[in-house]
Amino acid sequence: MMLVNGQPQDSISALDRGLAYGDGLFETIRLVGAHAPLWGRHVQRLLAGCKRLRIPAPDIQQLWQEALQVSKGLPDAVLRITVTRGAGERGYAPPADSAATRIVAAFPLPDTAVDIYREGIRVRLCATLLADQPALAGIKHLNRLEQVLARAEWNDPRIAEGLVCDQRGHVISATAANLFAVIDGTAVTPSVDRCGVAGVARATVLEAMPACQVRELPLAECLGASEIFLSSSVRGILPVQAVGDTVYAPGPVTRAMQALWRDLGFPMELA
Amino acid sequence: MMLVNGQPQDSISALDRGLAYGDGLFETIRLVGAHAPLWGRHVQRLLAGCKRLRIPAPDIQQLWQEALQVSKGLPDAVLRITVTRGAGERGYAPPADSAATRIVAAFPLPDTAVDIYREGIRVRLCATLLADQPALAGIKHLNRLEQVLARAEWNDPRIAEGLVCDQRGHVISATAANLFAVIDGTAVTPSVDRCGVAGVARATVLEAMPACQVRELPLAECLGASEIFLSSSVRGILPVQAVGDTVYAPGPVTRAMQALWRDLGFPMELA
């Protein structure tokens, strides 16, 4: 089910700036029944994005009511909230009086094989490189062609994700998840101040591991890690079993973060 | 008036990937009555974009019929054609069986003061810098947040455009037009193989001036030009009267390109 500005409908104006220019933001949120364990962080990022793009912020209480409305009857749902600058005249200049468009939609949680949480996923290295754009880094805006191109590089269903690097050869993330690597006993996650998305699951992991280093992560160093895992607000903590031909075993840091995820209220499959 | 996949309607599916990820392309085309002098070049760029993004190409004859249909009764129209990868499931992976969405809309040509063609426009330098992304450079895709941010930097109506540079300090273009500078008697336009859009008007100017250099253009060198003009398929050839405090007079190269524009069939105001 879907609500557009609070009304049950499944279409938006063809003049919406979200379509014309990708002028907006989104959040993808895992619901567990009528509960969204990471709701506060999603809201925080959405509001930060609105502030950065100077899009009027939505009413958060209203968003939550709409989230409950669209997900009714779905015991495990993925919620997508999209906020755009709204309809506008032709031209890049943001209208002085723009009224944001708010789309709240719920989808059934995709099936995920239980054993990926236990054994890990296979990952490839993408050829698509992310551009440095500090003005847009971190927020979850609608300009996602880089991710579409990276994800279009393969369609082997045995490969669950792709690692994407920046143009200096530093790992930034997976196409739709953040990345953590354990290197010489220390957890490291790439900084996302020039490209990439500051994931809500990433923020949760970082809070739980204050000693985790947030820094540049050269690809070779990443591949030499003792553990690699991905974090996603929808898919949770995903051990990486292999990056191309390099194999990894899920280790104690990965397992600890999976335990944290269960404690947060996600019915994560037993690791 | 507007057609979506050939049907008169003004809305699209809220699940369209054009909205979700900016996963699509557009063209903005000036019509003169029932004639589009640069149609062939617009089509060429649109098809190149479809190929680059692997979006099924639209039927060009059909597009033209739809263009005539939506612009009927508008003696001077701006046509916007948008082609997206179509509706899709959640997730970046392009659906195997995607049916592109095609939106054809006509708008009245915006009023333009006649004297800007004679005296030129005032331009500012934008603080927003364009990211290097060779995979997306040149084509007119829907990921336009950089242009939105750059255009949002000012709202003084006396400033018609903003120059945008890349992160190395080279001028790339204006927010919605390409740029030409005459330096030591030679015309120069920035290359657009790492960022920027390969404008249809730019291609037309380049064909008319085979000696024009296409290369990196450092900002200081650009500001030292004897003439600067912008090219836009909607607005034509716009002399630049000032970039910030640096003033220019429209020179012979600018006037020659304005004459070319009139010869192409655009009822450009007398320069």
DSSP A131-151: PP-TTTSBS-BS--HHHHHHH
Of A18, A92, A144, the CB nearest to B92: A144
For residue B15, which residues of chain A lie inside 8 Å, CB to CB?
10, 105
A210-261 tens-digit pLDDT? 999 999 999 999 999 999 999 999 999 999 999 999 999 999 999 999 999 9
Please give the residue of chain B at the shortest CA–CA distance from A148: B92
Q: What is the pLDDT of residue A75?
A: 85
Check A132 against B135: CB less than 8 A apart: no
Count the Cβ atoms, other than its own, within 10 Å of residue B270: 8
Element (H, E) at B258: helix B252-263
For residue B11, which residues of chain A lie inside 8 Å, CB to CB?
11-14
B114-151 tens-digit pLDDT? 789 999 999 999 999 999 999 999 999 999 999 999 99
For A224, A230, A264, the CA distances from A253, given in Å and listed in that order, are 16, 12, 17
Q: Chain A 65-104, CB below 8 Å of chain B: which residues?
A: 78, 80, 82, 84-85, 90-94, 96, 103
Check B143 against A143: CB less than 8 A apart: yes
Q: Chain B 147-206, CB below 8 Å of chain A: which residues?
A: 147-152, 155, 167, 175-176
Q: Say how many CB pairs under 8 Å bridge A and B.
A: 171
For residue B105, which residues of chain A lie inside 8 Å, CB to CB?
14-15
CATH of domain A115-263: 3.20.10.10
- Report the 3 state secondary structure along A2-13: EEECCEECCEEE
A7 touches chain B (CB under 8 A): no
Q: What is the pLDDT of residue B269?
A: 53
Q: Chain A 113-152, CB below 8 Å of chain B: which residues?
A: 128-129, 131-133, 135-136, 141-152
Above 60 in pLDDT, residue A271? Answer: no
For range A93-120, the mean pLDDT: 90
pLDDT bucket at B236, cuts 50 / 70 / 90: very high
Above 90 in pLDDT, residue B112? Answer: no
Check A14 against B84: CB less than 8 A apart: no
A220 touches chain B (CB under 8 A): no
Above 50 in pLDDT, residue B270? Answer: no
B165-179 tens-digit pLDDT? 999 999 999 999 999
For range A152-161, the mean pLDDT: 96
Element (H, E) at A123: strand A121-130
Least Cα separation, residue A20 to chain B (angstroms): 6
Check A19 against B15: CB less than 8 A apart: no
Residues A2-108, CATH architecture = 2-Layer Sandwich (3.30)
B59-83 tens-digit pLDDT? 999 999 999 999 999 988 999 999 9
Element (H, E) at A258: helix A252-263
* Rounded distance between C-alpha atoms, residue B149 and residue B169, angstroms: 17
Count the Cβ atoms, other than its own, within 10 Å of residue B52: 17
Residue B17's nearest CA partner among A234, A260, A18 is A18
Check B21 against A144: CB less than 8 A apart: yes
For residue A91, which residues of chain B lie inside 8 Å, CB to CB?
151, 176
A8-49 tens-digit pLDDT? 999 999 999 999 999 999 999 999 989 999 999 999 999 999
Q: What interface predicted TM-score (ipTM) does this complex get?
A: 0.95
The full set of domain ranges for chain B reads 2-108, 115-263
A21 touches chain B (CB under 8 A): yes
Distance of CA A38 to the CA centre of its chain: 12
Please give the residue of chain B at the shortest CA–CA distance from A110: B90
Least Cα separation, residue A52 to chain B (angstroms): 10
Check B105 against A16: CB less than 8 A apart: no
